[in-house]
């Protein structure tokens, strides 16, 4: 049996990077930042290779059809790798103050990234499960990475218990689908299922998969872990969890439901629609009531998962491509927003209360500018990327007749502007209550934020350059 290693190049590069970082980490004498730079270089090479493969259009299956490399998985590789690079960039200065060795931090990030890539290219439910677990187990540790912080440990434990619980449902769902369809291979399930011959086994299995994915991408009512974990976890990890893993969850979610379970679309579309509406609404409503900016961003990211789910509810080719496009935008702007939170550090640690941001517009203009840009994009104002992303998502839903969902989405967008703009208003129009002593800007964080800002503006102005790769990369 020969294996076409070329097909797995991005994954192999990540594994190689992992080994290199692990080896370098053994030597205490080497500077701490080497691990981070190695990670960035490895991810950048993998990103370059993925983009190259995407342009060439390299496709194929490997390992007895268990891995399916196609444009869809490569597009998601791009999303994951971009997120990882941005996260590593915002992490370096953030971790710089702690005196711990940091090799394991980047090792875990690399493992999680590998897990995400497996999820996107899994052609087999078990591979998806393995990818999911590889990603989740790394994230549990990362969430509890600040061992000396009570909040971080608590976040890790909550994430672990709830995540493992949801994994149990996910696995049981796979088992039931295995029983109902007689196979766990995604294309074979699709051909095994016909509209009329649905067994309760299959339906229950399908439903349990919704629960499992619903947890990973934080859909209401499976979302409650998210705010606590985001608040407690290191901010850079909150950015990481909110971006790549969510995209990976959707990558597998879309592929399984629109390929394997496409024939029983009528069975799941109602549930997905309800979940989307519920997620958008609850996410945005509760975000309004938040005072801690990390929790606010957590609820906002819940709401954004709802918007992406609208793409799945549209259940057409445009729905998939617009969801992919939106996830790319979402990852960039959300990491950017968390990066801006890291930027606002004081001597006492991070300033997380929204009231702390009062008057920052004039005291820290660059920080305020980045924050404003990211929040405007999250709120979906033209001409930022957030606007075009939402535009295409909602348009795909209109095309498939989900008018009500679009109306709910539009109302939610209006509600969300309220809490995003509140921060902007605080920054530019309020006087600070107390003088906070902010740290000077760390340079790498500025680099990361500049990249994110360029991304947000560029995609907003030239959407077609980014949308058309998504449009030709759908699996339908």
Partner 1 sequence: MSKDLITLLLISPLIGFLINGLFGKWLKNVSGWIASLAVLIPFIISAFFVFPAVRGGGELKAMLYEWIPIESLNIGFHVDALTTVMLLVITGVGFLIHIYSIGYMSHDSGRARYFAYLNLFVFAMLILVLGNNYLMMFIGWEGVGLCSYLLIGFWFDRKSATDAGKKAFIVNRIGDFGFLLGMFTLFAAFGTLNFDQVFGLAETNTYEQVFGASTLIVATLLLFIGAVGKSAQIPLYVWLPDAMEGPTPVSALIHAATMVTAGVYMVARSSILFNLAHTGVVVAWIGVLTALFAATMALAANDIKRVLAYSTVSQLGYMFVGVGVGAYASGIFHLMTHAFFKGLMFLTAGSVMHALSDELDMRKMGGLRSKLPITYWTFLIGALAIAGFPLLSGFWSKDEILHNAWDSGHQIIFGIGLLTAFLTAFYMFRLIFVVFHGESRVDSEVESHLHESPPVMWIPLVLLAIPSLIIGAIVGWGGEHSAIHNFLKGVTGFVAHHGKAEHSNPVPFMIISSIVGIAGILVAWFIYRSKTPVSEPTNPLHKLLANKYYVDEIYNAVIVQPIRGVSHYLFWKIMDVGIIDGLVNLTAFIIRGIGGSIRRLQTGVVQAYVVSMVIGIIIFLGYYLFIR
Partner 2 sequence: MALQYYLILSALLFTIGVIGVLIRRNAIIIFMCIELMLNAANLAFVAIGRELGDASGQIFVFFVMTVAAAEVAIGLAIIVSVFRHRETINIDEINTMKG
By CB under 8 A, name the binding residues for partner 2: 126, 129-130, 133, 137, 140-141, 144, 147, 150-151, 153-158, 160-161, 164-165, 167-169, 171-172, 174-176, 178-179, 182-184, 201, 227-228, 231-232, 289-290, 295
Q: Which stretch binds partner 1 (CB under 8 A): 79-87, 88-96, 221-229, 441-449?
A: 221-229
CA quadruple 358, 360, 361, 362: dihedral sign: positive
Which residue, 402, 395, 396, 376, is CA-closest to 387?
376
Among 44, 203, 352, 447, binds partner 1 (CB under 8 A): 203
Least distance from partner 2 to the Cβ atom of residue 156, Å = 5
399-424: string of b/e by CB count within 10 Å (b at 16+)?
eeebeebbebbeebbebbbebbeebb
Task: Give me the 321-350 binding string for partner 1, x by CB under 8 A, dash otherwise.
Answer: ------------------------------
336 CB burial (10 A radius; 0-12, 13-18, 19+):
buried
For residue 124, give the 3-state DSSP assignment.
strand
Distant-in-sequence, close-in-space partners of 23: CB < 8 Å, separation ≥ 6: none
Angle at which helices 200-216 and 244-255 pack, to 10 degrees? 160
The residue (of 11 and 231) whose beta carbon lies closer to partner 2 is 231
Which residue, 272, 258, 279, 128, is CA-closest to 210?
272
| Site membership for partner 1, residue 381 (CB under 8 A) | no
Binding partner selected for residue 231 from partner 2, partner 1, none, CB under the kind-specific 5 to 8 Å limit:
partner 2
Binding partner selected for residue 144 from partner 1, partner 2, none, CB under the kind-specific 5 to 8 Å limit:
partner 2
Least distance from partner 1 to the Cβ atom of residue 379, Å = 16
Among 267, 441, 447, 471, binds partner 1 (CB under 8 A): 267
For the chain, give the number of residues: 476
Tally Cβ neighbours within 10 Å of residue 28: 7
The residue (of 42 and 115) whose beta carbon lies closer to partner 2 is 115
The residue (of 141 and 282) whose beta carbon lies closer to partner 1 is 282
1 CB burial (10 A radius; 0-12, 13-18, 19+):
exposed
Give the binding site for partner 1 (CB under 8 A).
Answer: 157-158, 161-162, 165-166, 169, 200, 203-204, 207, 210-211, 215, 221-222, 224-225, 227-228, 267, 271, 282, 285-290, 388, 391, 415, 418, 461-464
């Amino acid at each position: 049996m020969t294996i076409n290693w070329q097909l797995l190049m991005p994954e192999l590069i990540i594994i190689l990077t992992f080994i290199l970082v692990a080896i370098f980490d053994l030597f205490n004498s080497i500077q701490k930042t080497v691990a981070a730079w190695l990670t960035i270089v490895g991810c950048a090479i993998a990103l370059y290779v993925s983009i190259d493969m995407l342009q060439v259009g390299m496709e194929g299956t490997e390992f007895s059809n268990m891995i399916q490399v196609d444009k869809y998985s490569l597009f998601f590789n791009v999303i994951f790798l971009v997120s990882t690079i941005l996260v590593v960039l915002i992490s370096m200065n953030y971790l710089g103050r702690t005196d711990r060795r940091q090799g394991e931090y980047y090792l875990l990030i690399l493992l999680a990234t590998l897990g995400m890539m497996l999820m996107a290219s899994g052609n087999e439910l078990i591979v998806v499960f393995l990818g999911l677990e590889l990603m989740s187990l790394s994230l549990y540790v990362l969430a509890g990475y600040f061992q000396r912080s009570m909040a971080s440990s608590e976040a890790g434990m909550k994430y672990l218990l709830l995540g493992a619980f949801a994994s149990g449902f996910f696995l049981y769902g796979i088992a039931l689908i295995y029983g109902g369809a007689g196979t766990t291979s995604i294309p074979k399930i699709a051909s095994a299922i016909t509209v009329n011959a649905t067994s309760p086994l299959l339906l229950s299995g399908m439903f349990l998969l919704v629960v499992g994915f619903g947890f990973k991408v934080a859909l209401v009512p499976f979302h409650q872990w998210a705010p606590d974990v985001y608040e407690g976890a290191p901010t850079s990890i909150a950015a990481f969890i909110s971006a790549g893993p969510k995209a990976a969850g959707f990558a597998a979610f879309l592929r399984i439901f629109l390929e394997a379970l496409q024939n029983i679309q009528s069975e799941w579309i109602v549930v997905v629609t309800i979940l989307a509406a519920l997620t958008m609404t609850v996410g945005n409503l509760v975000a309004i009531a938040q005072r801690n900016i990390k929790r606010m961003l957590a609820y906002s990211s819940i709401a954004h998962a709802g918007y992406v789910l609208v793409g799945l509810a549209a259940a057409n080719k445009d729905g998939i491509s617009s969801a992919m496009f939106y996830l790319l935008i979402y990852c960039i702007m959300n990491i950017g927003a968390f990066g801006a939170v890291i930027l606002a550090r004081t001597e006492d640690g991070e300033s997380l209360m929204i009231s702390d941001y009062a008057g920052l517009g004039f005291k820290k203009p660059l920080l305020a500018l980045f924050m404003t840009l990211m929040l405007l994009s999250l709120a979906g104002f033209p001409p930022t990327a957030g606007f075009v992303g939402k535009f295409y998502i909602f348009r795909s839903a209109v095309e498939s007749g989900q008018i009500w969902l679009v109306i709910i989405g539009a109302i939610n967008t209006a509600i969300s502007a309220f809490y995003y703009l509140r921060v902007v208003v605080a920054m530019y129009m309020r006087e600070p209550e107390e003088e906070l002593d902010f740290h000077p800007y760390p340079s790498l964080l500025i680099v990361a934020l500049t990249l994110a800002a360029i991304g947000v503006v560029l995609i907003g102005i030239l959407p077609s350059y980014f949308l058309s790769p998504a449009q030709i990369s759908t699996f339908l």
